[in-house]
Amino acid sequence: MCVGQVGNLLPHVVVQAIMAKHLIPLWGLSASEAGMMAGAYAFGYMLAVPVLATLSDRIDARKILGAGTLVSMAAVLAFPFVAHDLLTASLMWGLAGLGFAGAYMPGLKALTDRLDPGDASRSVTLYTSSFSLGVALSFLIAQVAADRFGWQSAFLVTGLGPAAMLVAVALMAPVPPPPAQGSVLSSLGAVFRNRPALGYILGYGAHCFELYGMRTWIVAFWTFVAATRGGDVPVSPVTISVLFALLSMPSSVLGNELALRTGRHRAISAVQVASAVVGLSLGFASDASPWLTLGLILIYAVTIPADSGALTAGMAQSAAPGAKGATMALHSTIGFGLSALGGWGFGLALDAAGGPAHNRAWLAGFTLLSFGIVLGPVALWWSRRRSAAPSAPLSGRRAV
């Protein structure tokens, strides 16, 4: 499943990886338009995941996983033949995200349905952290392919990656879900009444806003840093984007281990506040020494994803019996909806502060991300209000 997950993610940030050098000048896009185009993937995901993930409570999630993978793969491979401006590119990229909605959370459901309960926390964290490896390869392969063979090749090469998940699906044994309890609306109602799970879901939304804001603009930001210094920077945009994504994988795993030992809410809140401080510092350092800027980016690469595994594992463990798919659906809807807003909002902040050629514009963008992530601890605090310990699926130290 983790190998298949990496394959499914090879196309994941192709648009973000190549837009600064290829797509923005090709189609004459502003920063806000580029952010909207990049965010179309998350928007398409957000529209489809409530239905697809909730449906996984009623049919074997393996079937949804296979269908979603096929749709996403087809949209990515068709992108260079169909996309020729902002509208067509956004529509095709949104269709790819819609397909991925049938792959990510239904994939997690397919995985947890085949695990013993004692294996869930670390296995979920490994699955979610493999996301980062896939994104790192996506950044690397997309930029190298586009620079050497043209921007169209980035989609054609990475679009073959989801075939790995199709192999994984074919190898899975069927696991019929238990008989559904009530309607889809009643399942969603159970999620909205589950305050502990909602805390993790809203915290995940804050995490995604920050993460995708940075993923969307990291290549453009480092391109700006290099341009203002005449190209005299320690690493290339390709290298910085890959390093940023690779550091996310161990960070997510270690963040979950920290949460298991010190309390999930406490660990997540500490990480998110630290990330806000680093992000704000990075905005102020956009015109500082490139070595200082690089150091802050690498620290940011650790703080941003360190809460991811703990948030998703906490959500899965807090889900009400019979409503796990619906809980995952809301988790992804909120997360990817705010992901779309993160990339687009960063672009709007850039344009509002004078455009990507100005230091103050990057400070505005990073300030927006920092404001977004500090809402995560607020959501976790809210989830503890009037939430009595006996009603929560977890108990004791690990439920903190």
The larger pLDDT score, comparing residue 175 to residue 85, is at 85
User: What's the pLDDT band for 392 if we cut at 50, 70, 90?
Assistant: very low
What is the radius of gyration, based on Cα positions, of the chain?
A: 20
Residue 118 pLDDT exceeds 80: no
Give the mean pLDDT of 113-125. Answer: 69
Q: From CA 246, how far away is CA 224, in angstroms rounded?
A: 22
Give the mean pLDDT of 276-298. Answer: 94
Give the residue carrying structure tokens 């909605």. Answer: 101
Q: From CA 157, how far away is CA 137, in angstroms rounded?
A: 12
Q: What is the pLDDT of residue 57?
A: 74
pLDDT (tens digit, 9 = 90+) per residue, 223-255? 999 999 888 899 998 899 999 888 887 888 788
Give the mean pLDDT of 27-56. Answer: 89
pTM: 0.81
Q: Is residue 34 within 8 Å of 12, Cβ to Cβ?
A: no
User: What's the pLDDT band for 207 if we cut at 50, 70, 90?
Assistant: very high
pLDDT (tens digit, 9 = 90+) per residue, 155-165? 999 999 999 99
Pull the structure tokens for residue 14: 């192709």
User: What's the pLDDT band for 397 if we cut at 50, 70, 90?
Assistant: very low
The larger pLDDT score, comparing residue 346 to residue 321, is at 346
Q: Could you tell me the CA-to-CA distances from 180 to 53, 59, 104, 169, 319 in Å, in that order?
A: 14, 9, 22, 23, 15
Average pLDDT, the chain: 87
The larger pLDDT score, comparing residue 186 to residue 258, is at 258
Give the mean pLDDT of 347-359. Answer: 93
Give the mean pLDDT of 210-228. Answer: 93
Q: Which residue ranges make up each domain of the chain? A: 2-399
Give the mean pLDDT of 45-65. Answer: 84
Residue 201 pLDDT exceeds 90: yes
Q: Which of 44-48, 179-183, 328-332, 365-369 has the lowest mean pLDDT?
A: 179-183
Closest CA to 103 of 174, 11, 15: 11
Residue 339 pLDDT exceeds 80: yes
User: What's the pLDDT band for 398 if we cut at 50, 70, 90?
Assistant: very low
The CATH class, in words, for 2-399 is mainly alpha
Residue 394 pLDDT exceeds 80: no
The larger pLDDT score, comparing residue 134 to residue 52, is at 134
First vs last C-alpha separation in the chain? 30
